[in-house]
Structure 1
């Protein structure tokens, strides 16, 4: 067991590799499933609701427990909770790979998301322990690069594994491959990660988590039931969502006023760039997750492509996203401010519409679709790479950690919402108006991206000139 202050450079680098492995596990498992959904649906005879929950369940449980995961590390130790999260994630992956029904797979995916939410915050906390501030900047840049590559690798790896069909396991390999990787992270983490915890843990707000969790479920569950049709239960759940959100808001405001641990500080939303950044985060994450789900499913269902081809066609999108984040956002945001987000959102709207129309309605050839995918990724990267710096530009240092955690939570909730919305329209569309489902799904995705553009246009002209 390594102790802080006794680590050599070699041990620090091995610890960093351990944390990177965990980050890759988390990101890949969010994107790898899209490629496998048609195969999973066919194997289980699963309906639209189960298919959506296989993807959305992971993002939802991750989002609801993410802030609690960070505070567990503060209270019980970052290394201990990291190992607990990795072990739970590995076992949940095994449960996914061994699932006998769609319901069992959904339950295992919920467990994956929950344990991922315990694992993920410890990685950033341990970065604080392992490296000094200047080293940390370089290592975090490496995290960003690896995260971008992992998001591209997920669908490609999924396609390769399904196409290989090793030992006749088919889609199950996309989950079972996590077992050796998780075991490696456990052994490495035990030997190389320092044993540290916060000297002043913030505490928990379990009632706040329960209220907001119930509100989100009340909103998402009816949306995934669109294909089956809404009855009294679905309308009742939807009607309860708004009051539960209001109760949750009052609860956290009261906890903050009483100087007790709260899920978040409502005062953060009084800061205009942060409030608009939260709105952009939710809308963008919903649009992006909805696009990736529709893209992967439509390629196989509407164009008859194999999982391998579907995975490979994610590469130009991922390449464009990396260029958008690393080049466009970083170089143009300081000069042009909010207009980089506006332009990125507009470009992604037009290009994503062309991609989805090109798959089904127009049946465009690959030489035409690939540049459109690259442009979609460029727009996505220019928008997504700017959301975090813009949102926290006027947030004081004392609230920087809480603001970042809240933004990441909003992104995961947005992803679950986008899968529910776009997935419901896609599966319930049934060639309405003579148009394929991919075209129908874009009505939702395009609206969400339009909201991103509208919210971004409301940002102040000068964002980076004031801090609280």
Structure 2
């Protein structure tokens, strides 16, 4: 994390002075490749879930854990991954993360049981948590503050394209069924890509680490992991098992575990000056509200993509490729919201932009549910509803980070960004657990098409919560704290 966590410039290591413009471009392409590898992997899996469920004879809980396990380990280890980079060097941790991600991807594609796949996905998320923070740190290492602006703009553009390309690539790979591998190809393809990133990173990336690295917080990491598992395990498995007493007790235990985590974080901050989170930042109203919006929004988005892919394939009998192509209007809508509408509207509208965007996404989700419930839904209404939902999503996801961090002092920008990214991953895990559980419970009582309707209601409620919280933000979001 370096300045991603501490707000400081990284210390240059050996070889940075020898970086020619050409080598620097190649090094940038290397970290960009790792960024795309992680982003595509989070979007490509939803397209493959029905095929995975059928091929491995996975139940609903195991299917949800394929998504949730990745988000969970990513969220819990994200800050630790950044601090390990500060301590031992960004290049070294980047290579370890890419190696682990590549190896676990191949293991995912070779899994023969649902348990093995879920375990490998958890390792994949842990590896991504080692890799992702180093991407930002290495950009800071290689470029001046002014140069970073254009570099990060490239990340935004490529990220939008990758979000569209992920489902399409997944559909193509599953549909092609090369060698009878089917869904396994979406993971196995990471093997050669990851190997290329590993070789390029070894040869091209400079060394560097933080001048004042923050200490690791192993107890805080364990407490957070325990609290999230106590919450997610019963949410995913409790309903299918008839909510036995042990599931209820485990769910109730997440409250004291979170309290312990909070007390530990406060005490550790007073004693050492740092913990896994920075409790004092939550006194900043816009930051606390921004994290709340992020949690609700990530849960709604992850839940929507999971339920939609299952509904289209199991309810409307779309092929994986047809599902992927239908996601394209959604992706283009997101890009329009992020790149065209957001930058122009945010300075004028402030908090009204994410509030309105969340409601637009809710309206698009509602229209999607109505279209799905038709006897023979035509692709055009589905595509139109997804485009509206995508525009709404783009109007939230673009300004959400800047709004959350707007009133955070630059000296704390790194740890605040880490908390924001961590909450995004936790929200994704909660969305897979809560929205996914409602979808599968409704599926057992009816068809996939009828199961989408109550799921859409929950997603709309989550988005309504995003809109309501946004309206609690200061009118002038980017003005100094009142």
Q: Structure 1 residue 330: deviation in Å? A: 1.1
**Counterpart residue number, 1:456:** 470
**Counterpart residue number, 2:370:** 357
Please list the CA deviations of residues 87-141 of structure 1 after superposition, one character each: whole Å capped at 9, or x if unmatched: 0000000100100101000000000000000000000000001111111100010
2:440 equivalent to 1:438 = no
What TM-score, normalized by structure 2, do the two folds share? 0.95
**Counterpart residue number, 2:40:** 28
Q: Structure 1 residue 227: deviation in Å? A: 2.5
2:313 equivalent to 1:326 = no
Q: Structure 1 residue 433: deviation in Å? A: 8.3
Tell me if structure 2 keeps the 8 A contact 1:421–1:444: no
Q: Distance in 2 between matches of 1:205 and 1:360?
A: 49
Tell me if structure 2 keeps the 8 A contact 1:287–1:449: yes
Give the ranges of 4+ consecutive aligned residues of structure 1 lying more than 4 Å apart after TM superposition.
431-435
- Name the SS of the counterpart of 2:17 in structure 1: coil
Q: 2:228 aligns with which of 190, 202, 216?
A: 216
**Counterpart residue number, 1:43:** 55
Q: Distance in 1 between matches of 2:180 and 2:285?
A: 54
**Counterpart residue number, 1:348:** 361
Q: 1:14 aligns with which of 26, 49, 70?
A: 26
Q: Distance in 1 between matches of 2:148 and 2:225?
A: 34
Q: Distance in 1 between matches of 2:61 and 2:390?
A: 28
Q: Structure 1 residue 259: deviation in Å? A: 3.0
Q: Structure 1 residue 24: deviation in Å? A: 0.6
Tell me if structure 2 keeps the 8 A contact 1:324–1:379: yes
**Counterpart residue number, 1:241:** 254
- Bigger mean CA offset, 116-125 vs 147-156: 147-156
2:206 equivalent to 1:166 = no
Q: Structure 1 residue 199: deviation in Å? A: 1.5
Aligned length: 468
Q: Structure 1 residue 362: deviation in Å? A: 6.1
Q: CA RMSD in A?
A: 1.4
2:163 equivalent to 1:151 = yes
- Bigger mean CA offset, 259-268 vs 92-101: 259-268
**Counterpart residue number, 1:380:** 393
2:244 equivalent to 1:231 = yes
**Counterpart residue number, 2:382:** 369
**Structure 1 residues not aligned, in runs of 5+:** none
Q: 1:268 aligns with which of 260, 265, 281?
A: 281
Please list the CA deviations of residues 204-223 of structure 1 after superposition, one character each: whole Å capped at 9, or x if unmatched: 11111111111111111111
Please list the CA deviations of residues 213-263 of structure 1 after superposition, one character each: whole Å capped at 9, or x if unmatched: 111111111111122321122111101001101111111011111134301
- Name the SS of the counterpart of 1:5 in structure 2: helix
Distance 1:364 1:67, change over 3 A: same
Q: Distance in 1 between matches of 2:421 and 2:335?
A: 19
Tell me if structure 2 keeps the 8 A contact 1:2–1:192: no
**Counterpart residue number, 2:196:** 184
2:212 equivalent to 1:200 = yes
Q: Structure 1 residue 465: deviation in Å? A: 1.2
